[in-house]
Structure 1
Amino acid sequence: MEHEVFVPVPAERLREALADPARIARAVPGLQQDAGAEPVTGRLKVRVGGHTITYRGSARLSGQDDGSYAIEGDATEARGTGSVKLALTLRLRDTDGGTTLTFEGTATADGRVAELAGDAVTSAVGRLLNRFAENLGAEQEGAEEPRGAEVADAADAVVETPEESSVFDAEVPAPGLDPLAEAEAEEPAPAEAAHARRTMIGRSAEEVDHAPPRGRYAPVPAPQTVAPHSTLRWAAPAAALVLASAIVVGRVLRKRR
């Protein structure tokens, strides 16, 4: 098989990325790395036509004396007995505005992928290599971006970010739209209420509250009763007076005899 991909990144930068296994692992699309294993080791989902096959395996990339790279990999189906083996050669060629990556080699497979159409398998492999090359170029571009550019981008983001709304900037609804505000506006103040009462009645609020009603609504006074102890209080002096008078009259009659 042979496949070419153009990347708008200089070849020297791509070679720096290919020398770092961690960057290579990040460039493989959809790779779920196994913890504690080699960088390019884990699970990889491959979509062929309307089917998705998950493989578990590893890949190795090594530089050659002629400037090319040898790629070797093997994997087995996560749910099945099929397996895949590949042996590819990667070459980088300077091109106007970037680099052309050429993949050449062979790949053998059995299991589920062998039961699918050949053109679907070839298309799936081509998409995988395209995304790998593009991710490799993007990975290198991000690593080579100068620090000054990052600061400038951050400053632009701060300038362009709209100011967050504050509760102090919220519009207060008009009194006509707020029933509570209307109720508060209609209720008079205590001082105003007292003044209104004095104006309408002509007397102070205290007089109105405490003055007894008059006219036909005036209460009927209760009849006065004489307590028994009042009668006894006047009966004793009267009896003493009558007794004294009787004594005086008796003495006068004796003298005349």
Structure 2
Amino acid sequence: MEQEVFVPVPAERLRAALADPALVARAVPGLQQDVGTEPVAGRLKVRVGGHTITYRGAVRVSPREDGAYAVEGDATEVRGSGVVKPLLTLWLREAEAGTTLRFEGTASADGRIAELPPEAVEATVTRLLNRFATNLATEATEATEAVDVDAVDVDEVDDVDDVDEPPTPGTVFEAEVSPAGLEDLAGPGEPPAEAAHARRTMIGRSAEEVDHAPPRGRYAPVPAPQTVVPNSTLRWAAPAAALVVASAIVVGRALRRRG
């Protein structure tokens, strides 16, 4: 059996992926890995013509001294006693804008798959090898991009570390102040005239009076403006008018009596 597949990925990336069993396991199409087993092991459903056969087994990929890779596997039917044992050699040949993967080898099989038409079995094997090569190229590209992203992140961190830090400004307590500056902050030695007058006014008065005495000078509180009630005039005019009316009535009665 011979099969060639071209992928637009450099050969060194594919070699790095073949050296990682986890990437090889993800490249096997339809492989369901078993928990607690070696990376390239599990269940694999194979569709041959109109039949589906499920195998459980493992695949081992190991480099050879001539630069090729040995691909060995063994699988047993989940529902049956049939066994399949592939023995392949994988070559990587650099090509323009990519790499050609060449599979060569044989496989021994018995059980249900041996009862199916040979052309259907060959078409299934060809399809599996093509998908494996494509998946391997994808895994190799994604792994390389992840490494490149990590490298960029590290470079950015290094660049940040290289930035010169600005000098730390001194605090207020570290600044030097001249004696003249302290004098300006403290104010003049003699109190203002108004303050001296207020102090002299307070001398001789009791502490209670001083505490409750209102401040004088420009610091004295401004008295609230008096509110003028417009109806205050009417409030005094009403009784006066009543008095005038009462007097007029009394005078009128006195005149009538005389008459």
TM bucket (normalised to shorter chain) is 0.5 to 0.7
Alignment partner, residue 180 of structure 1: none
Partner residue of 1:119?
A: 119
Name the aligned partner's letter for residue 149 of structure 2. R
Q: Which residue of 1 aligns with 2:138?
A: 138
Q: Deviations over 1:221-250 (max 9, x none)?
A: xxxxxxxxxxxxxxxxxxxxxxxxxxxxxx
Report the AA paired with residue 84 of structure 1: V
Matched to 2:57, the amino acid is G
Per the normalisation by structure 2, the TM-score is 0.56
Give the structure 1 partner of residue 71 of structure 2. 71
Among 141, 146, 149, the alignment partner of 1:147 is: 149
CA distance in 1, matches of 2:82, 2:65: 34
In structure 2, C-alpha distance between the alignment counterparts of 1:58 and 1:130, rounded to whole Å: 19
Cα shift readout 1:127-182 (whole Å, capped 9, x = no counterpart): 0000000000000111112429x99xxxxxxxxxxxxxxxxxxxxxxxxxxxxxxx
Q: Which runs of 4+ in 1 moved over 2 A?
A: none
Q: Which residue of 2 aligns with 1:82?
A: 82
RMSD: 1.7
Matched, 1:27 2:13: no
Q: CA deviation at 1:64?
A: 0.4
Distance across 2 between alignment mates of 1:80 and 1:57: 14
2:96 corresponds in structure 1 to 96
Specify every segment of 5 or more residues in structure 2 that has no aligned partner in the other structure, as ranges. Answer: 154-259
**Cα separation, 1, equivalents of 2:84 and 2:20:** 25
The residue aligned with 1:109 is 109
Whole-angstrom CA distance in 2 between matches of 1:107 and 1:33: 22
1:43 is paired with a residue whose SS is: strand
Q: How far off is 1:10 after superposition? A: 0.3
Aligned to 2:43: 43
Matched position secondary structure for 2:36 = coil
| Residue aligning to 2:249 | none
CA deviations over 1:95-133 (Å, ceiling 9, x no partner): 111000000011011111011110100000000000000
The residue number in structure 2 matching 1:17 is: 17
**Letter aligned with residue 46 of structure 2:** V
Q: Distance in 2 between matches of 1:22 and 1:98?
A: 23
Equivalent pairs counted in the alignment come to 151
User: How far apart are 1:89 and its partner, in Å?
Assistant: 0.3
> Helix, strand or coil: the match of 1:143?
helix
Q: Which amino acid aligns with 1:63?
A: P
**Cα distance per residue 1:6-34 (max 9 Å; x no partner):** 11100000000000001000100010111
Q: How many Å apart are 1:80 and its aligned residue?
A: 0.7
SS of residue in 2 equivalent to 1:66: coil
1:81 CA drift (Å): 1.0
- d(CA) in 1 for partners of 2:34, 2:114: 26
Mapped partners of 2:72, 2:21: distance in 1: 14
Q: Which residue in 2 is equivalent to 1:129? A: 129
